[in-house]
Structure 1
Amino acid sequence: MVFVSELKEARVKSSFVEALWRRLSEYLGLSEYEAKLYVSLIEVGQATARKLSVFSGVPRTKVYPVLKRLIDMGFVTEIPGEPKRFLPVPPNIALKSYLQTYRNITQNLLSLISTLEDALKRARTQEKLRQGSMWTINGKQSIFKKMREMLINAKRSVYIITNGNSLILLSRMFSRLLDELASRSVKIKIITTNEQNSKYLVKELKYLYDVKVFDFQFPLIVLYVDHEQLLMSYIQSESNSLKCEDEAIFSNNPVLRRLIWAYIVNYS
C-alpha cells in the first residue's frame, strides 16, 4: 500500500520535476538523470534511493551512481542510516558557484561588447574620414557663394590655384575679403599662370600675398582652405556673366585633398 501511495504522489509531483529538470540541465550542464534527481529531492525534501526512483523516473539501478556524482558536485548530502536517505543542498548554496560564474561571464561579455562597440565606432569614424564627402555645385552664382563662405570661415590658410582670367575674376569678387583674411594673419598663397592679361594684377598681389607664377595651362579654379575644404571649379572662359552655367565640386575627401596639396607643394 505504501508503494501504491508513493506512485499516486509521484504522479502529482511529476509535473514539477518535468517543468524544471530541463532548464536545470540546460543552464548548469547537468545530465538528465542528475537534474531529475536533484529537482525531485527539492520537491520531496529528503528520500531514499527507492523513493527517488519512483518520483524522478530515473531507473533504480542508475540512482546510486547519479546520487554519488551529485554529492561530489555539492548538490546532495547523504544521511547515514538504513536505508540511506538523501537530502538536497539548498539551491542558494548548491548553485552559488554557478551563479558567480554566470555573473563573471555576463560581466566579461558586457566588457567585450563595450570593447567591440568602441572598435566599431572608431572604424566607422575612420571610414567616414577616409571616404569624406563630395558635392556638386551648379551655376556661377552658387559657386561664388560657396567660395565666399569658405573664405569667411578660413582660420589658418587659403590656397588658390588658377589661370590669369579667373584670377582677375576672383580679385574682383573677393579682394576685400582676402585683405581682411591677411589682416587676421591667415596665410594666403596664390599659384597662377603666366599670362599677359593678368601680369599687372599679379604684380600688385605680390605686395600683399605669396604669389607664384608658372608657365602652365590650368583651366580650373582651385580653392583650398585650412587643409580641410576643397573646391574645384571650371569657369567657362568665354563668358564672365553670372548667368553662365558652370560647375564645381566641393569636398572634404582626404585623398583628393592630399593630391591637391601635393600639387601645391610641387609648385611652391
Structure 2
Amino acid sequence: MENERVLTVSLEEFGLSKYEAQAYVALIAKSTISASELAYYSEIPRTKIYPTLLKLENKKLAIISKSKPIMCTAIAPEDAFDGIIHEQINKVNAMNSLVSNLKKASEESRKTRGSEEKRYFHVSANNVLVQLQTMIEGSKSSVKIMTDQWGFGLLAECKEQLVSVARRNLDIKILVPPTQICSESYRKIPDGIEIRASEITQNCFMFDETELLLVNNDNGKGAIFSSTDILSSNQEKIFSNVWKNAIKTEALADMSKTEAQEIYKIIKTVNEMGLTYILNSTMLSKRPESDMFKLLEKNGISFKSKSLDDVIEIMDAVMQITCSGHVYFEANTRNITVESKLNSGHSLPWASILDGCLQKQGYKTRTIYQNNANKGEKIHIKIIKN
C-alpha cells in the first residue's frame, strides 16, 4: 500500500492528476478489470472513474473496451511513458542548452569588460591535512610555504612527504614566525630544507608556482587555487620579497630554543635600531661600542654572565645569518677575526659589539678593518692584554 502511494506521487510529478495516477497504479497491479472494480481498488469515487479513464486513454496510458461492462487495461509502462520520458529529456536538453548560451553570453560580456571568471575549490577542515600532504607529494619543481604557528604545526605533520620531495632535490623554502625557531615543529622539518624567520601572519602553500593552498587558522578550512596566473604571480612576489629580508635559521638549528630566540632578538634589535645608535654615538659618545651595549641591555639582552667563548659563539651565529660570515678566535695569537662576505660595513655593528664586550670583560683591544671588493671584509680584533 505504501509503495502504491509512492508511485502515485511520482506519477503526479509526471503531470498526471491524483485520480489519474491512482487509477493507473491500480490498473498496473490488477491487469484487466472493470471500471467499477477499478473505482474500488483505486479508491476513486464512482462518479469520477469514467472521466478519469477517458483521460488515461487520451494520454495513451490505458485501453477501454467498447462493450459493457466497461473493461480497462493499463498500457505497459515502458510503452506508456516512452513519449513522456523523451519529452522530459528534450526539455532538460533545451534547458541545458539555454544555460550554456546564457553562460557564454555572460563570459563574452565579462571579456568585453576586461574580466574573466576563475574558480577555486573549498577544502573542509577535516581534509586540509590530507590535501596538503597530497599537494606536497605531487610537487614537481618547487614548494614555497609561509605559515604562522598554527600552520607550521600542520606542516610538521607532513614530514614523510617533505622527506620525499627533498630527496628529489626540489626547491623547498619555508617562512615561519620567529617564535617557531627551534620549536618542536621546527625540529620535525627534515634536514636540508631551508627555513627562514619573519613576521608571518598567513598560511600560504605554493606548489610549482601554479597551485596555491590557503588555509584559515581560525576555522581550519582551506581553498585551492589552480593555474591562477595573477594570484600565483602576486604570491610569488610577496614570498620572494619576504624571503629576501627574512632571518636565516640554519646557524641556529643545533641550539636550544632559548639560545636561538636570544640571537634572533639581538639581530632584530640591531637591524631595527642599530644605525640610529651608531650615528648618535659617533656624534655624542667617546665609546660608541658602549652605546651599542646600552641598546642591547635596554632591550633585555645582556652579555655580563657570558664567557668569551659564549660571546664568540653568539657572534659567529649572527655573522652566519646576517653576512654569510664567521667569527674566528686564534688562541695562540689572541686574535679574533670577524669575516663577512658582504662589503659596505655589514660586519661593523657586530665587531663593535664584540669589541665592546671584550672591553667590558677587562680586555684591551686594537681593531683593524680590511676591505676587499671581491672577497668581502674582515675586521681583526687584537687582544693586547687582560
Scaled by the length of structure 1, the TM-score of the pair is 0.41
- Which one has a larger percent helix, Structure 1 or Structure 2? 1
